[in-house]
Each structure stands twice: as structure tokens, then as C-alpha cells.
């Protein structure tokens, strides 16, 4: 995989460099609530601009239906990028139309432009190779060189991620190089004990990675909504907690495999439960109680791991040499149910291990709860991409850069 440093050594002054970034930031009322992904790609963009390139930044945001939708405009991201770079950033109001062509044509050496949300064009995500390729052809007309640095999208076979690099000289940006290096430490160069913390809502989203980790990790700690399918599989009442009954047999099989292979699979021993899901807008105090994990009332749902589980998980992380954490272990957006996720984050901070926080929700939790990002070994920008890499899958965006 060609690096951006190799590209810079060849010279980029005056060249139009297309940077496929990941500016897929969370928005609330048009305001960015977490700019982590913009800051992550900033070094690549800044370095190219300093070298005299005419930088064209492109990304998706959200899931628009292949047509313009103001709710998913990249305009706020372009504004924030300009603030971080300390310079004006031009913004094109379309992807490959008149505005994009005019904006790119007007770029001077060392200047930066952002084009509108790539997913406003149906060709970006098309399943049909010809349709996707046609969009990639139009994107290629805007640039001389391609730099892939949108790690959060490299697991997608999309036009700007997979097809466009084949049409232009290409290299990997600093973020992708860093992310791949980190993932190798979680797969090929693991220091043990290796502890994995998996949270999030659905167990179905994590089954493939659990399947792989049963042969690699020493301990797997389970939290979040997915934990209740595991508790149900053990024969416990889970009330109205999030439950995927269609996954119970698979979960039972994984628990049996873990026991046979010597992998410690750790489940909550107590949980915070309530009859009502909390109001995440007003953050009004919640009515909850703490119960043992095998005594969840039939009319209540689990919303966070309890204090005994927090201590247990911290103890399981304390002696680790490598820790990978993907997914909050409770509804951290509400202060009454943020304690478990805070405890996991603190355990990683207190550990001497190489710690990796993977996934947008986990990264957002770390920042929302006020932790210093530098206290962790690495905060990944791509949850889905990280998981698929750990599952052993070929990621289309990385394969394209290696071609």
C-alpha cells in the first residue's frame, strides 16, 4: 500500500488530490455534536495543502436515499474543517455537477474544498458495477490523484471507496495507515492477556467478531443490550430487555466453545433496570433499581451494568496487555445509565495495556463522558470497519489501495 509520504516525496504541488475522508459526524439541529472524525483526517488534509496540492475532500454523511437531502448536507462539516485548518474551505453544493466543477477549477495551490455528500448520488452506493463505475468516472474527472483516508468506510464497496482508486494514482492517508497498524496489533502481534469488551444493542452485530475472537482473546466481557440475549441463553429472566431470541442457539454454542477453548466469557452479575426507557432529550432523572442479573423483573428492562459488574470488569481489565473495546455497556447518553460505560473507560485509562476504543458510539461515549482521548492507546474512527477486519474479512477500500 503506497503511503502519503511516498506521494508527497513525488511532489503534489498544483495537483488536484481527491481525499476520500470520513466526515460522517453526528448532527443535532444542524450542529456537530462530535467532531472526532474531522479531526482524525485533518493531518492528511493539512499536509497535502502545505505541500501545495489542490485538495478536494469528499465523504458521505448519514443514509440519504441517493438524492439531495438538506438534513444530510456536509456544509457543517466543511465549516468545522475550515476552523480546524485555520483557513477558508470552499464548499460545492453538489458532487459531480456544475458547482463541484466550478469549485475545483477555482482552487489555488494549497487550498481546500469539500464537495457535497457523496450519497446524494445513487451511483455512490449502487450494487450495479456499471452504475457505480459511471459515478466513479465522473469523480475521477475532478482529480489527478486519490488519497484514501476514510477508514470508517473502507468496508463498503462504494464508488468513492472501491472504484475510484482504480482510476487514479492512489495512496493511503495517515489515518488509514494508523488504523491498519493498530488492527495488526489486535490480530497478528497481540500481547497477552488480550481482553475484549463488547457492548452495543444487538448481539447479531457482533456474532461474527465473537466467532473469530473465541480463538484469539483470553477474555471477552459482554455488556450493553446484547448482554441480555446471553443472560437469556443461560436461562435467566430478562424482562422487557432487548432480546434477540433468534440468536439464542448461536449464543449458547459460543458459550460452550468459550468454555472448551479456555476463553473466559464474562457476563453482567448485576444490572440497572427500569420499567421505562429514559428521556434522552430532557435527561430527566430516571426511576431505576439495581438487581442481580438473574433476578430481572418481568416488567422491567436492563439499561446499564450494575456496580458489582463494573468492579468485576475493571478487575478483568487490570492485568491486560491488550484491550479492545467496541460498544457502550449501557445507555450512556443518560446520566443515570452512564456509570457502566464510564467504569469501562476508566478501567482502560488505569490499565498499562495497549488500549483501543473502536466504534463511533464508544468514541462518542469517551468524549461525552469527559475523558482525555490521549489517555487511550488509540480511538478508532471506524467501528464497522474495525469489526470486519477483526472478523478476517477483506475490506474493499483497503484492497483498492493495495491494488
16-29 pLDDT, tens digit per residue, is 999 999 999 999 88
Buried/exposed code over 24-54 (b: 16+ C-beta within 10 A; e: otherwise): bbbbeeeebebbbbbebbbebbbbbbebbbb
d(C-alpha 15, C-alpha 111), whole Å: 11
Choose from 97-106, 181-190, 206-215 the range with maximum mean pLDDT.
Answer: 97-106
* Cβ partners under 8 Å of residue 341, min gap 6: 199, 304, 328, 329, 330, 332, 365, 369
User: What is the per-residue pLDDT for 271?
Assistant: 98
> 129: which residues sit within 8 A by CB, 6+ positions away?
none
What does the pLDDT average to over 236-251? 97
Q: What is the pLDDT of residue 139?
A: 98
Question: Which residues are known catalytic residues?
Answer: 37, 202, 360, 384
pLDDT 10s digits, 224-239: 999 999 999 999 999 9
Domain limits, CATH 3.40.50.1260, in the chain: 4-177, 186-390
- The model's pLDDT over 74-121, given as tens digits with 9 standing for 90+, comes to 999 999 999 999 999 999 999 999 999 999 999 999 999 999 999 999
What value does the mean pLDDT take over residues 162-168?
98
Query: Over 90: is that where the pLDDT of 161 sits?
Result: yes
CA 398 to chain centre: 16
Side-chain-side CA neighbours of residue 186 (13 Å): 31
361 annotated among ligand-binding-site residues = yes
The reply, when asked if residue 150 is annotated as ligand binding, is no
What pTM does this model have?
Answer: 0.88
Q: Which of 18, 207, 298 is nearest to 7 (CA)?
A: 18
CATH topology of domain 186-390: Rossmann fold (3.40.50)
Give the chain's count of helices (H) and strands (E).
Answer: 14, 17
Following DSSP, what letter does each residue of 147-166 receive, concatenated? EE--GGGTTS--IIIIIGGG
**Nearest to residue 186, comparing CAs of 392, 400, 382, 403?**
392
Distance, CA of 330 to CA of 342 (rounded, Å): 10
Which superfamily does 4-177 belong to?
Phosphoglycerate kinase, N-terminal domain (3.40.50.1260)
Over residues 59-71, the pLDDT tens digits come to 999 999 999 999 9
CA angle 21, 27, 31 (to 5 degrees): 105
Q: Stretch 228-255: mean pLDDT, rounded?
A: 97
Only one residue has cell 446520566, namely: 335
- C-alpha 178/C-alpha 122 separation (Å) is 31
Pairing of strands 354-358, 322-326: parallel
Percent of the chain with pLDDT over 90: 90
Listed range (117-131, 202-216, 236-250, 337-351) with the worst mean pLDDT? 202-216
Predicted confidence band of residue 360 (pLDDT cuts 50, 70, 90): low
pLDDT of residue 384: 85
* Bridge partners of residue 292, in order along the sequence: 270
Closest CA to 199 of 17, 78, 366: 366
pLDDT bracket for residue 215 (50, 70, 90): confident
Q: Side by side, which strands form the sheet with 378-379?
A: 264-266, 219-222, 194-198, 322-326, 354-358, 378-379
- Answer whether residue 359 shows pLDDT above 80: no
pLDDT at position 337: 97
Among the listed residues 273, 274, 235, the one whose alpha carbon sits nearest the alpha carbon of residue 255: 235
pLDDT of residue 190: 93
Statement: residue 403 has pLDDT above 90: no
* Whole-number average pLDDT of the chain: 96
Amino acid at each position: 500500500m503506497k503511503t502519503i509520504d511516498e506521494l508527497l516525496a513525488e511532489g503534489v504541488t498544483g495537483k488536484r488530490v481527491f481525499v476520500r475522508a470520513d466526515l460522517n459526524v453526528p448532527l443535532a439541529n444542524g450542529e456537530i455534536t462530535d467532531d472526532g472524525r474531522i479531526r482524525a483526517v485533518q493531518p492528511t488534509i493539512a499536509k497535502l495543502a502545505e505541500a501545495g496540492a489542490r485538495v478536494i475532500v469528499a465523504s458521505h454523511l448519514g443514509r440519504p436515499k441517493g438524492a439531495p437531502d438538506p438534513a444530510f448536507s456536509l456544509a457543517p462539516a466543511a465549516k468545522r474543517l475550515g476552523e480546524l485548518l485555520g483557513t477558508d474551505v470552499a464548499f460545492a453544493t453538489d458532487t459531480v455537477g456544475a458547482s463541484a466543477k466550478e469549485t475545483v477549477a477555482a482552487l489555488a495551490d494549497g487550498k481546500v474544498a469539500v464537495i457535497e455528500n457523496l450519497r446524494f448520488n445513487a451511483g455512490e452506493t449502487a450494487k450495479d458495477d456499471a452504475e457505480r463505475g459511471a459515478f466513479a468516472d465522473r469523480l475521477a474527472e475532478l482529480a489527478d490523484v486519490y488519497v484514501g483516508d476514510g477508514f470508517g468506510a473502507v468496508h463498503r464497496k462504494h464508488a468513492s471507496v472501491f472504484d475510484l482508486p482504480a482510476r487514479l494514482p492512489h495512496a493511503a492517508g495517515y489515518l488509514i495507515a494508523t488504523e491498519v497498524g493498530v488492527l495488526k496489533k489486535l490480530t497478528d502481534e497481540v500481547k497477552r492477556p488480550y481482553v475484549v469488551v463488547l457492548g452495543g444493542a444487538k448481539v447479531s452485530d457482533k456474532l461474527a467478531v465473537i466467532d473469530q475472537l473465541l480463538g484469539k482473546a483470553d477474555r471477552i466481557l459482554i455488556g450493553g443490550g446484547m448482554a441480555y440475549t446471553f443472560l437469556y441463553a443461560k436461562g435467566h429472566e430478562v424482562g422487557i430487555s432487548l432480546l434477540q431470541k433468534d440468536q439464542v442457539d448461536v449464543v449458547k454454542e459460543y458459550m460452550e466453545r468459550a468454555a472448551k477453548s479456555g476463553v473466559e466469557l464474562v457476563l453482567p452479575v448485576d444490572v440497572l433496570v427500569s420499567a421505562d426507557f429514559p428521556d434522552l432529550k430532557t435527561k430527566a432523572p430516571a426511576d431505576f433499581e439495581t438487581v442481580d442479573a438473574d433476578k430481572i423483573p418481568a416488567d422491567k428492562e436492563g439499561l446499564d451494568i450494575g456496580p458489582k459488574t463494573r468492579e468485576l470488569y475493571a478487575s478483568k481489565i487490570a492485568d491486560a496487555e491488550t484491550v479492545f473495546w467496541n460498544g457502550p455497556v449501557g445507555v450512556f447518553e443518560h446520566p443515570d445509565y452512564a456509570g457502566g460505560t464510564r467504569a469501562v473507560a476508566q478501567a482502560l485509562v488505569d490499565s498499562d495495556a495497549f488500549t483501543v476504543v473502536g466504534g463511533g458510539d464508544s468514541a462518542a461515549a469517551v468524549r461525552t463522558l469527559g475523558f482525555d482521548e490521549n489517555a487511550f492507546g488509540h480511538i478508532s474512527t471506524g467501528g464497522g470497519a474495525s469489526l470486519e477486519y477483526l472478523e478476517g474479512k477483506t475490506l474493499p477500500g483497503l484492497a483498492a489501495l493495495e491494488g
